[in-house]
Amino acid sequence: MIKEFLTLKEFFLKYKWHYLGGVFCLLIVDSLQLLVPRLLGLFTDTLLSAQVNIALLRSYLYFIIAIAVGMAVFRYLWRLYIIGASRILEKHLRELLFNHLQSLSPRFFLQHKTGELMAHLTNDITAVRSSLGLSVVLMVDALFLTVMALFFMFSTSDLRLTLLALIPLPFLALGSQKLGVGVFNRFMKVQETFAELTDTSQENIAAMRVVQAFALEGVEKKRFLKSTAKYMHDNFNLYKLWGFYDPLIYICSFLSFIIVLIYGGNLVIKGQISIGDFVAFNGYLALLTWPMLALGWVINITQRGRASMQRINRLLEQRSEIVDHPLPLSLKKEDLQGDIILENISFQYEQNPVLKNISLTIPYGTVTAITGQTGSGKSTLMYLLLRFFEPGQGRILVGDHPISQVPLKLWREKFGYVPQDNFIFSTTIADNIAFARPGATWEEIKKAAKLVALDKEIESFPAGYNTVVGERGVTLSGGQQQRLALARALLTKPEILVLDDALSSVDITTEEHIINNLQSSNIRATVIIISHRLKVLKKAAKILVLEDGCLKEEGTHRELLEQRGLYFLLCQQQLWEEAV
């Protein structure tokens, strides 16, 4: 069981005194609790001996009050230490998992659903926290009370009575072991189903406008009900198995009490043990019922924790394919100024070739446009440039330095990237623009908005730049979202600006106005624009034309028209569409 939790070894070493202090306080509580049956036994014998008086009654009363106060104080302390440590563990594990997710490459997120990852960050971590908090308390409680109760039973009562009372315990131990295995397997299934349910919920909420637009609420409701029914079914299977445990405990306890009443009562009648010893023995036997119940909960909670920790470990074992080179170059930003050169670049997703033996140069400080039919590999080319993926073959250089040897953070800090699918955070417009550069001044934020022709629209909103845009920018139009993302990229003053079809939702006049702003501003950057629009392509110093993952043509707008090749056909098609 321990191997699943070795990932948390450093945490346990750091907070060992929390756990040790908590266990110490818990043992004091249990020790005080063990005094009660013995005290009752002595009091019973005193009553029967007719030697009782007011002073003696007071002394027993003071003992009971002292025990109660001691238990209350130390119970508070063990809760503070052990349960407190488990809450710190929850925070530690959640931060560890989140930081690890941030280190993984985009390919990982293509292969794992958001709902599955959310289940790891919520349900799985909660299960681990319980197994290393409440479960520790129950386990120590059960073991200590069991051992000490048995010790007092053996030392203060007839040996045969104790052995007979313990006959049902081996059956309980065997049943607990079998149940533990079953709980582990079934809880793994429950967690997997919960991940599916979370993903279905997240997907439906995020796509609610699309669902409503196609009037598919009924279809999605059925899909959601199917997920909830599966989750309920798997939980029922878990609790059907777990439901056997409590009855098993009570049957074993009931059998033990029957044996004690019959055999122990007979010993009292024969005078072989006193009534006080008989009362004390029953008190210790009653104490054994709680450890047996606690043992069941320990099995349930720890098996759930094991299953969840196993799932978390599988995630933590994932490694990014994009990492810093073992021998990184010692460079500064200014060392990375120069043409971007791609030499014999090829790349494929799984078994599907996307780029095939591409060689090209993107001149430093100029505007380069990339165009081509959908699926020709334009965006993938940018992903390789940003090092979201590594090329299958070939290399990319900037200023004669292979980017694979450039520290990843240094390389990406040079970029301002605006993808096709912009992500707008559910916060204010100002915070969204300043996201890439925390601490930016209001003047800088407003200047970036003006560059993308968004300033007047923002100022027309009632709250201006403090307008909260809603989840994923739902209150903004598609064109406003794209310009907001572009303003965010420009605020970083990038040395390489990549616009991946970033203004497709903006009208042609506004797009042309933005391009003119960029060219007339003091922004000195290598600009790479992926676009299909003729007016944008004309402004580029160099145009690259891709088809089926191959570089078919390159040159200026005029040069490519004179070639009367693929670019010429694309332009003719666009002119025809505009005329229509």
CATH number of 413's domain: 3.40.50.300
Q: How many other C-beta atoms lie within 10 A of the C-beta of residue 554? A: 17
Q: Are residues 417 and 310 in the same domain?
A: no
Q: Are residues 221 and 364 in the same domain?
A: no
Q: How many domains does the chain have?
A: 2
Q: Are residues 303 and 356 in the same domain?
A: no
Q: What was the pLDDT predicted at 567? A: 84
Please count the CA atoms within 13 angstroms of the CA of 35 that sit on its side-chain side. 14
Q: Of 291, 316, 341, at which residue does a domain stop?
A: 316
Q: Are residues 130 and 242 in the same domain?
A: yes
Block residue for tokens 């303003």 = 487
pLDDT above 70 as % of the chain: 87
Tokens matching residue 51: 């030697």
Q: Are residues 417 and 562 in the same domain?
A: yes
In angstroms, the first-to-last Cα distance of the chain is 70
Q: What was the pLDDT predicted at 74? A: 92
Assigned domain for 6 exists: no
CB environment 187-212: b (16+ within 10 A), e (fewer): bbbbbbbbbbbbbbeebbeeeeeebe
Q: What was the pLDDT predicted at 17? A: 92
**Dihedral class, residue 215 (left if φ above 0, else alpha if ψ from -120 to 50, else beta):** left
Q: Are residues 306 and 440 in the same domain?
A: no
Q: How many other C-beta atoms lie within 10 A of the C-beta of residue 561? A: 14
What CATH code is carried by the domain that includes residue 240? 1.20.1560.10
| Confidence band of 81 (pLDDT split at 50, 70, 90) | very high
Q: Over range 403-413, report the average pLDDT.
A: 86
Q: Are residues 240 and 352 in the same domain?
A: no
Question: Which H/E stretch holds residue 360?
Answer: strand 352-362
Assigned domain for 64 exists: no
Q: Are residues 183 and 99 in the same domain?
A: yes
Q: Are residues 300 and 376 in the same domain?
A: no
Q: What was the pLDDT predicted at 348? A: 86
Q: Are residues 413 and 344 in the same domain?
A: yes
Assigned domain for 9 exists: no
Q: Over range 6-31, report the average pLDDT.
A: 89
Q: Over range 197-202, report the average pLDDT.
A: 76
Per the DSSP assignment, residues forming a β-bridge with 369 are 529, 543
Q: Of 288, 316, 344, at which residue does a domain stop?
A: 316
Burial class (CB in 10 A: 0-12, 13-18, 19+), 139: buried
| Confidence band of 509 (pLDDT split at 50, 70, 90) | confident
Across the chain, mean pLDDT equals 81
Assigned domain for 537 exists: yes
| Confidence band of 47 (pLDDT split at 50, 70, 90) | low
Assigned domain for 107 exists: yes
Parent domain of 158: 94-316
Q: How confident is the model over 213-260, as pLDDT tens digits?
A: 667 678 778 888 888 888 888 888 877 776 776 677 777 777 777 777
* C-alpha to C-alpha distance for 459 and 466, rounded to whole angstroms: 10
* C-alpha to C-alpha distance for 462 and 61, rounded to whole angstroms: 72
Q: Of 260, 281, 316, at which residue does a domain stop?
A: 316
pTM for the predicted model, two decimal places = 0.73
pLDDT at 1 over 60: no
Q: Over range 304-323, report the average pLDDT.
A: 85
| Confidence band of 270 (pLDDT split at 50, 70, 90) | confident
Q: How confident is the model over 380-394, as pLDDT tens digits?
A: 888 888 888 888 888
pLDDT at 566 over 60: yes
Q: Over range 459-463, report the average pLDDT.
A: 86
Assigned domain for 80 exists: no
Q: Are residues 128 and 206 in the same domain?
A: yes
The whole-angstrom distance between residue 90's C-alpha and the CA centroid of its chain comes to 11
Tokens matching residue 213: 């637009």
Q: Over range 63-89, report the average pLDDT.
A: 90
Q: What was the pLDDT predicted at 571? A: 83
Closest residue by Cα to residue 322 from 405, 389, 398? 389
Under a CB-based contact definition with an 8 Å cutoff, are residues 34 and 145 in contact?
yes
| Confidence band of 73 (pLDDT split at 50, 70, 90) | very high
pLDDT higher at 374 or 505? 374
Enter the DSSP assignment of 155. H
Assigned domain for 244 exists: yes
Q: Are residues 267 and 395 in the same domain?
A: no
Q: What was the pLDDT predicted at 156? A: 65
Assigned domain for 7 exists: no
